[in-house]
Amino acid sequence: MSDPQERLRDKTRQITALQQKVGSLEAQLSGAHRRAHKLNESVQTLERTIAEKDSEIRMLRSELEKTKGALDTVGAEIRGMKAEQVASMSKQRPGGAEYSMKEKLETAERRVAAMKDDMKLLSEAATDVLNQEPGAIDSLRDAVLAVGDPKFKILNIVLNRRSVRIDEIASTLVIDVSEALRILDELQSAGEVELREGTTAIPGKKYREVKIPAEEWKTWEPSDIFDNLEDIVEKAEGTENIVKALETAVDILETKMARGGALIFQMRRTAGAWRKKEGDREELKYTIREWKGRAEALA
């Protein structure tokens, strides 16, 4: 009787061992499937990245070809102007016509110099992309924006300078003032810029709106809110932004200052006064510092 029982136990142990092996193999197989899935996702991500870079490089090549073509055209114009100038000098005495030709030649030469700078910028950006330098794609986008369509060039200048005269834009891009004004009119119609007194361009209203960190203020101490409010008042463009900042701050501070009724009332009155008429910005900053001191005394 013992032999059959012993054989049965052996079989049982063998079956158990086999089951353990099967379980181990199933676990390994599951792990292999997971790794294969992750590898597949990585491959897809790499393929998308490669496709994006290919697209960026194609865009860059297109811009380079356009710039090169424009450079060749301007070079031909300069050669023609020089020939005309030589012919003119042999036929005419010094006067207005020669001066006009010289002025055109100088303008064309400045345009060529600007285009050479553009090509250098694009070339450096392209090299960074090919070398996979950190941030190269963003730099390439900035470069294409800077040297591409004159409309984007002008918008870029206005956004960076915040306020710039139209004749300065024309001089920077080596274009006629009338052409600069035409482009600015288009940008103004699109809400990208605004023209002041017909001579100066500033960013459109959407670029001048101040971002008020209302959600962050809800977690800040009152003194920190007052500090940030003063900074916003200093940098804000336009009365509406200052009023918006004041009203947002007072709404939040009212929930934080149980004993600040008089202070909250004064803040609301100040915001109302600014809504009716723009006040003195420096005086408002001083008032905000006073509010901060009173709030700290109430804490």
Q: Rounded distance, CA 140 to CA 136, Å?
A: 6
More confident residue, 101 or 160: 160
Reply yes or no on whether the pLDDT at 24 is more than 80: no
Residue 63 and residue 147 in contact, taking contact as beta carbons nearer than 8 Å: yes
Reply yes or no on whether the pLDDT at 185 is more than 80: yes
Q: Rounded distance, CA 180 to CA 151, Å?
A: 9
pLDDT confidence of residue 288: 93
Confidence of residue 94 (pLDDT cuts 50, 70, 90): very low
Reply yes or no on whether the pLDDT at 292 is more than 70: yes
Residue 162, domain extent: 149-208
Reply yes or no on whether the pLDDT at 111 is more than 70: no
Q: CA distances (Å), 62 to each of 67, 127, 151, in order?
A: 9, 15, 18
Q: Is 61 helix (H, G, I), strand (E, B) or coil?
A: helix
For the chain, percent of residues with pLDDT exceeding 90: 14
Contacts of 187 (CB under 8 A, 6+ apart): 151, 154, 155, 158, 193, 201, 204
What letter represents residue 123's amino acid?
A: S
pLDDT confidence of residue 98: 47
pLDDT confidence of residue 17: 78
User: Residue 18 domain-assigned?
Assistant: no
Number of domains in the chain: 3
Indicate the range of 100-104, 156-160, 165-169 predicted with least confidence.
100-104
Residues 68 and 137 placed together within one structural domain of the fold: yes
Q: Which of 41-50, 119-128, 258-267 has the highest mean pLDDT?
A: 258-267
pLDDT confidence of residue 266: 92
- The conformation of residue 200, written as its DSSP 8-state character, comes to E
Q: Rounded distance, CA 228 to CA 223, Å?
A: 9
pLDDT confidence of residue 251: 92
Residues 47 and 143 placed together within one structural domain of the fold: yes
User: Residue 103 domain-assigned?
Assistant: yes
Residues 137 and 161 placed together within one structural domain of the fold: no
Q: Rounded distance, CA 234 to CA 243, Å?
A: 13
Residues 136 and 71 placed together within one structural domain of the fold: yes
Q: Where does residue 238 fall: left (phi above 0), alpha (psi -120 to 50 degrees), or beta otherwise? A: left
Tokens at 116, concatenated? 């050479």
Residues 129 and 163 placed together within one structural domain of the fold: no
Tokens at 208, concatenated? 């001048």
User: Residue 8 domain-assigned?
Assistant: no
Tokens at 26, concatenated? 């199933």
Across the chain, mean pLDDT equals: 75
More confident residue, 55 or 155: 155
Q: Which of 124, 147, 170 is where one domain is finished?
A: 147
Confidence of residue 38 (pLDDT cuts 50, 70, 90): confident
Residues 158 and 103 placed together within one structural domain of the fold: no
Q: Which of 184, 208, 232 is where one domain is finished?
A: 208
Residues 123 and 57 placed together within one structural domain of the fold: yes
Q: What angle do CA 73, 79, 82 make, to 5 degrees?
A: 140
Q: Is 198 helix (H, G, I), strand (E, B) or coil?
A: coil
Residue 255 and residue 223 in contact, taking contact as beta carbons nearer than 8 Å: no
Tokens at 268, concatenated? 């609301």
Q: CA distances (Å), 256 to each of 46, 96, 243, in order?
A: 50, 74, 20
pLDDT confidence of residue 95: 46
Reply yes or no on whether the pLDDT at 143 is more than 70: no
pLDDT confidence of residue 20: 79
Residues 136 and 48 placed together within one structural domain of the fold: yes
Residues 113 and 139 placed together within one structural domain of the fold: yes
pLDDT confidence of residue 286: 93
Q: Which of 131, 147, 163 is where one domain is finished?
A: 147
pLDDT digit string, tens, across residues 58-75: 776 666 666 666 666 655
Name 203's bridge partners: 193
